[in-house]
Structure 1
Amino acid sequence: MDVDARLRELGLELPTPMTPAGNYVPAATVGDLVYLSGAGPLRPDGSMVVGKVGDGGLDLDAAREAARLTGLQLLAALRAEIGDLGRVRRVARIFGMVNCAPGFNRTPAVIDGCSDLMVEVLGDAGRGARSAVGMAELPFDIAVEIEAVVQVST
């Protein structure tokens, strides 16, 4: 699959991968698996989507869009690591964390923003195992943080 052509078809442009906020790398390859560090929702203007979901700060639609932006960050980090996204064999796992107010329990619907993007861009190879959990706080008050494990051809 020509993933770059698919991105153009969808009208999507991958951002510049975020610089790590600590002592870690954005991606680490072990065999045919690429472990992508947690990424956050970076808008094209460079600002982050911040705030809690479910307390009047961010609604479900805004949180889903934040997860979609985070998915673009993950794809950008993956491309920086492996060069060609056509090497993706399968998204093995996505782990999504949502900065949510007490009582908000629709975290799977939020992380669908990222999961849906992966399937749009990568087809069935973008569909993998997933967890979506609520957190009391996330770094820098970001709305979501998502990490992934991706299998690639060697």
Structure 2
Amino acid sequence: MTNEIEQRLSELGLTLPDAPAPAANYVPFVQSGSLVFVSGQISSGPDGLICGKLGADLSLDDGVGAARACALALIAQLRAACGGDLTRLRRVVKLTGFVNCAPDFTDQPKVVNGASDLMVAVFGEAGRHARAAVGAPSLPLGVAVEIEGVFEIS
């Protein structure tokens, strides 16, 4: 039997990836009390890493898609932190997005909206969150976007 979150993901035509393994010496998430801190998730899709620089190699739409991919990975990590039960989510507290971009690129908030919009689409009002969207001259492995998140669970 599917729960309401899984049903919403299905209605949106989305499939969560497996929770990605850490790429270095860190853990994918830490729970402290009712808060879950999910490590930065890099943009990756079915064909591998989504790499490039916004405002140079990639369009705004490419960046939005990369941010959506990060959001799916964040939700996959959250599902692991919740023992497979996403209905334990009480609130998406904060997302911090890093955008690999050219020096004159100023649409970082529009890029990170790809993740923010997905959180609201999946979790409804509980998906509304505080946020930062920051430009970076480069990101690990040359990816386009990296996003970390803080979530409240029961």
TM bin, normalised by shorter chain, reads over 0.9
- Does the alignment pair 1:140 with 2:141? yes
Which piece of structure 1 moves more, 131-140 or 10-19? 10-19
- Structure 2 counterpart of 1:2: 4
Aligned residue in 1 for 2:31: 29
Within 2, Cα distance between the matches of 1:90 and 1:59? 31
Aligned residue pairs, count: 151
C-alpha distance in 1 between matches for 2:26 and 2:136: 22
RMSD: 0.9
Give % identity: 51
Secondary structure of the residue that 2:15 maps to in structure 1? coil
1:39 alignment partner, one of 41, 56, 67: 41
Cα separation, 2, equivalents of 1:18 and 1:142: 15
Q: CA deviation at 1:2?
A: 1.5
Give 1:70's aligned residue. 70
Q: Deviations over 1:31-90 (max 9, x none)?
A: 000000000111123x100010001x0000000000001100000011011121111111
Q: Which letter maps to 1:89?
A: R
* 2:110 equivalent in structure 1: 109
Q: Report the Cα distance in structure 2 between the residues aligned to 1:13 and 1:31, rounded to whole angstroms.
A: 29
* TM-score normalised by L of structure 2: 0.96
Tell me how far apart the structure 1 counterparts of residues 93 and 122 of structure 2 sit (CA, whole Å).
15
| Structure 2 unaligned spans of 5+ | none
**What TM-score comes out, normalization by structure 1 length?**
0.96
The letter of the residue matching 1:91 is V
For structure 1, the residue ranges without an aligned partner over 5 or more in a row are none
